[in-house]
Amino acid sequence: MNKEAILIEVKKRLEETIKDLNFHNLSHIKEFTDQHFEFLEHLKCLPELVNQEKQIKKQNNIIVEENEQDSRKNRFQNVTDDDLLSDLKHYVVKEWKLSGGAIALNQRSRSAFIPEKIVREKDIHLGDIVEITNMNPSGDKKHFKLIKKGDSDQFVDKRIVLQCCPVEIDDGKLVVTKDVYGNDIKIDDAPFKIVIQEQDRIKKSIEPGHSVDIAFYEGKAHEARVFWRHPFYS
């Protein structure tokens, strides 16, 4: 199959997915489409007929994995939360971290951290129940599986969130001054410049021209943190 044929097939998949778009699955579909655009960017750089069978297999694996996740979630939807949480590997997502990711608690109030990358890949929200297991004896590598969607309304997101803000450089510092629509960011009706913290710049490899998601608590915009950096798309 040549590259043009692959492009047509991917377009069909994207069109079918967009038809089902709603506010509940918005982040999940965004992640899905981002994966496909990233795949197309890689495909664009390949010469014709080189390793394209591997690329198709990789793309098909994405679809199969998503279908398996949906099947697992549906299996647990009719099981009560109390029954699910009797298993100490099952955690309720309780709180978003300002710098990204979520904090979840099991029935014995033991906490676990879910990285932001996993939150987006699995479309995790507050109130969801996630199975967290160790992948090695030391416990430094974990496997996360969303097993039941919860009621996000029972938890309060205390953050103020600004998504997809363009990063600029000002006086040698990386800053954010505008929202995704190009409007000035304002605090108390006055334009406000958010300076990206050095730890976020280094950890998330942020550069001018990137778009980032930023969060802060009310009255503490000067302590804002970047919790996600979006990739460049040419």
Alpha carbons 229 and 164: distance in angstroms, whole number: 8
Other beta carbons within 10 Å of 185: 19
Question: Do 112 and 50 fall into the same domain?
Answer: no
Alpha carbons 131 and 113: distance in angstroms, whole number: 12
Please compute Rg for the chain using Cα positions.
Answer: 20
Alpha carbons 212 and 166: distance in angstroms, whole number: 7
Give, as one character, the DSSP assignment of residue 71: H
Dihedral, CA atoms, 7, 13, 19, 24, nearest 10 degrees?
-120
Domain ends where: 53, 75, 97? 75
Question: Do 92 and 141 fall into the same domain?
Answer: yes
Q: What is the pLDDT of residues 42-54, one digit of tens each?
A: 667 665 544 555 5
Confidence (pTM): 0.66
User: What CATH number corresponds to the domain at position 122?
Assistant: 2.40.50
Domain ends where: 133, 154, 175? 154
The domain total for the chain is 3
Question: Domain range holding 195?
Answer: 159-230
Q: Using an 8 Å Cβ cutoff, are 227 and 206 in contact? A: no
What CA–CA distances, in Å, run from 67 to 6, 63, 87?
21, 6, 25
Question: Do 148 and 164 fall into the same domain?
Answer: no
Q: What is the pLDDT of residues 136-190, one digit of tens each?
A: 877 788 999 999 998 878 888 999 999 999 999 999 999 999 998 899 999 999 9
